[in-house]
Copies of this chain bind each other. A is one copy, B any other.
């Protein structure tokens, strides 16, 4: 195909007319499609229905340490649930606190603790004039919403195909003691699907931050969410690397079963150093009587262990793979060679990132919406919702049916083409 940038004005006008006709046909269809939500599909949720039968009136409701899971106690989780979460995060069970149904809430709590109490005896962040976080972009909008909520200044760090730009990260972190944290989705990153390279993990672990209480918020949200087997998702153990580098307390790792069992009906966990765990428990014991141990036991009975989780995730992958492939095939077929955008083929996670021609993302999302296809708002993967180039669009293929997705992807590529041609004609 001829690249749009090489077309004459006449050719572009002709192309625009054609595209507008196709677009109007879509508009006439009254579509109601949604590629905005990183949600499991109903079919994926059906995979875990047996979880509901994992406990019944005949179950001995004791954890392996003898604790009655129906009663108070067990602040940091039952031993077998620690093991399950540790398997998922590839850490040791004794490094885990099992938390509630939302790892977002667990992360929010950790930032709130930094604000209100400080970490390991350092000054609470709310007492400081300025607190900053590094935000690899594009990234996860809900991370940025948490730090924005607390008045934290967010600094964009560009992502590369190996993770965040480490030269920039090292430079910033070593010089500015107001930088207290950094958001990371290290495996199948949201939204690009990047897996941090070994070198990136090692450089992160070996940083010499100006702030003693600098923390990496390591959201391992897609720890076991492979599309093509775990070989494509190898990630170094950040806790181990931090320890080796003499920074054992520099990281909090998070994970949950929200996209494993049920979204919002699962369990989550935090992994950290011994000193951090003790520090967390000091405030956790004030905050709560502990998370739901019955749901912990239910998950252990259903999944058994890391292998059980892996087997279950293969069933998820078999539902997700065709959806990802359909979208990627549509992008390839319709956009290759046009110079209308780039995209990455992720090997896991929940998203495909489309990088449109600069200044086109908002227009593409608006066009899609007017044709009945909801996309994640342009800018969402950036702090303050501001994409400096207005080019990144997050595509979420998990929730729609294949049939819906086919139509939605076709609408999307039409909108991409139309917005690109419009843009070129402006010049």
- A residues sitting closer than 8 Å to B (CB atoms) are 37, 39-40, 42, 45, 48-50, 52-53, 55-57, 59, 61, 68-74, 100-102, 104-105, 108, 112, 115-117, 124, 126-127, 142, 145-146, 149-150, 258, 262-265, 283, 286-295
Contacts and interface: CB of A to CB of B under 8 A. Distances in A.
A105 B52 contact: no
Contact of A70 (B45, B126, B142, B283): B45
B262 A101 contact: no
10 contacts: A53-B56, A70-B263, A71-B262, A71-B263, A104-B288, A105-B289, A108-B286, A264-B293, A265-B294, A292-B295
B292 A264 contact: yes
A286 B149 contact: yes
5 residue pairs, one from A and one from B, having the closest CB atoms: A265-B294, A105-B288, A45-B70, A70-B262, A101-B292
Contacts of A290: 102, 264
B116 A71 contact: no
B72 A288 contact: no
B108 A116 contact: no
A71 B108 contact: no
Nearest to A291: B101
B287 A105 contact: yes
B40 A102 contact: no
Which residue of A71, A124, A142 has the most chain B CB atoms within 10 A of its CB atom?
A71
A49 to B, nearest CB: 4
Contacts of A288: 102, 104-105, 108
Given A71-B40, A71-B262, A265-B295, A101 B100 contact: yes
A42 B117 CA distance: 37
A264 B115 contact: no
Contacts of A100: 100-101, 292
Contacts of A37: 72
Nearest to A40: B71
Contacts of A71: 39-40, 42, 45, 262-264
Contacts of A287: 104-105, 108, 146
Contacts of A286: 108, 142, 145-146, 149
A292 B37 CA distance: 19
Nearest to A41: B71
Nearest to A297: B265
Contacts of A265: 69-70, 292-295
Contact of A283 (B72, B73, B149): B149
Contact of A52 (B56, B68, B124, B149): B56
Given A49-B61, A100-B292, 9 more contacts: A45-B70, A53-B56, A69-B265, A102-B288, A126-B126, A146-B286, A263-B289, A265-B295, A295-B295
Contacts of A42: 68, 71
A294 to B, nearest CB: 4
A116 B105 contact: no
B52 A55 contact: yes
A64 to B, nearest CB: 17
Contact of A263 (B53, B56, B72): B72
Contacts of A262: 70-71, 294
A104 B292 contact: no
A264 B289 contact: yes
Contacts of A108: 286-288
Contacts of A102: 288-291
Nearest to A145: B286
A69 B48 CA distance: 13
Nearest to A71: B263
A117 to B, nearest CB: 8
